């Protein structure tokens, strides 16, 4: 298994090569590429990598140069030509997309997307926020970016985020904290979905549960394809994709699980009312 430092270096190099190629395409005369027809906007640790691969397998879909371009969040200052440099030329019946889970959570993204992609559609996956929070913690720790225990990280989260975002949500420090240390904040789904609804018509946003994608991948995928106006298609296999490997005893103790469940209860109720869902994560 790769060490956290090696993973960071590998990811950094991969993103650098991808960005350089996009700059090269953007510098060429003419149109560098299309804007995406749809986005998978999140949430993080909610199965977006699996959904990305399922959608990429569709014969009418061609993918961008990578899964997480982060244009509308981290790299918005690079301009649309740079962004379009990541997308392939399309035949008339083809579609293209990208998937950046940070888009659901970052407060500046919905307005930017609404301005740049007025006809696009958006898919969000939401997972039991207790499970999501712990998966996020393990993911951050696997990169060597979390020295605290899960309990201590939760206790420190509010101060960490407040301190990092004092200069606004688009500084380097803010992105680092919002992406890595937002264990509880990212599970407050209702406020994030409401922010998107304030900028994008509801009929252009499809929200599904991660648990349904796992329990009924065929049906959930079929509904997403119908929403995206793509022909019915079934991949050879609905494989789960994740880069995290659990090691050691779980820090998500029954006591901590109860604490998080109580914390998320009002937010879950707000989400259920917003989406007209029953209890989103019963039991």
Angle at 203 between CA 200 and CA 209, to 5 degrees: 95
Contact 199, 104 (CB under 8 A): no
How far is 240 from 81, CA to CA, in rounded Å?
33
Beta bridge partners of 95: 61
What is the per-residue pLDDT for 49?
Answer: 93
10 Å Cβ neighbour count for 65?
A: 17
Question: Which domains can be identified in the chain, with CATH numbers?
Answer: 11-129+187-237+248-275 (3.40.50.300)
Tell me how far the alpha carbon of residue 209 is from its chain's centroid. 13
Helical (H) or strand (E) element with 136:
helix 129-142
Nearest one of 128, 265, 271, 146 to 210, comparing CA atoms: 128
Along the 283 residues of the chain, how does pLDDT read in single tens digits?
A: 445 555 454 554 555 555 566 556 655 555 778 999 999 999 999 999 999 999 999 999 999 998 999 999 999 999 999 999 999 999 999 999 999 999 999 999 999 999 999 999 999 999 999 999 999 999 999 999 999 999 999 999 999 999 999 999 999 999 999 999 999 999 999 999 999 999 999 999 999 999 999 999 999 999 999 999 999 999 887 776 665 556 678 999 999 999 999 999 999 999 999 999 988 887 6
How far is 38 from 123, CA to CA, in rounded Å?
8
Name 122's Cβ contacts closer than 8 Å, sequence gap at least 6: 38, 39, 40, 41, 113, 196, 200, 204, 205, 206
Tell me how far the alpha carbon of residue 16 is from its chain's centroid. 20
Residue 265 structure tokens: 């209860």
What is the per-residue pLDDT for 1?
Answer: 40
Contact 78, 71 (CB under 8 A): yes
Contact 205, 197 (CB under 8 A): yes
What CA–CA distances, in Å, run from 221 to 36, 155, 226?
Answer: 19, 37, 9
What is the per-residue pLDDT for 2?
Answer: 44
How far is 243 from 10, CA to CA, in rounded Å?
13
């Amino acid at each position: 298994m790769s060490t956290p430092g090696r993973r960071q270096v590998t990811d950094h190099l991969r993103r650098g090569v991808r960005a350089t190629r996009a700059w090269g395409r953007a510098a060429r005369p003419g149109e560098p590429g299309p804007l995406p027809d749809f986005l998978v906007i999140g949430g993080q640790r909610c199965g977006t990598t699996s959904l990305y691969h399922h959608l990429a397998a569709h014969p009418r879909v061609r993918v961008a140069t990578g899964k997480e371009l982060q244009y509308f969040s981290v790299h918005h200052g690079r301009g649309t030509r740079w962004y379009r440099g990541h997308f392939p030329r399309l035949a008339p019946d083809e579609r293209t997309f990208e998937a950046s889970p940070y888009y659901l959570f970052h407060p500046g993204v919905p307005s930017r997307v609404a301005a740049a992609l007025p006809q696009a559609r958006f898919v969000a996956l939401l997972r039991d926020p207790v499970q999501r929070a712990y998966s996020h913690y393990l993911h951050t720790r696997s990169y060597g970016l979390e020295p605290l225990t899960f309990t201590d990280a939760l206790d420190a989260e509010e101060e960490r985020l407040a301190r990092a975002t004092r200069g606004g949500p688009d500084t380097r420090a803010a992105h680092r904290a919002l992406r890595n240390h937002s264990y509880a904040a990212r599970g407050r789904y209702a406020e994030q979905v409401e922010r998107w609804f304030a900028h994008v018509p509801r009929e252009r946003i499809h929200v599904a549960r991660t648990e349904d994608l796992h329990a009924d991948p065929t049906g959930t995928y079929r509904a997403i394809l119908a929403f995206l106006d793509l022909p019915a298609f079934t991949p050879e296999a609905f494989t789960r994709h994740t880069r995290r490997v659990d090691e050691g005893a779980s820090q998500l103790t029954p006591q901590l699980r109860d604490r998080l469940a109580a914390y998320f209860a009002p937010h879950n109720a707000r989400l259920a009312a917003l989406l007209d869902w029953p209890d989103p994560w019963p039991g």
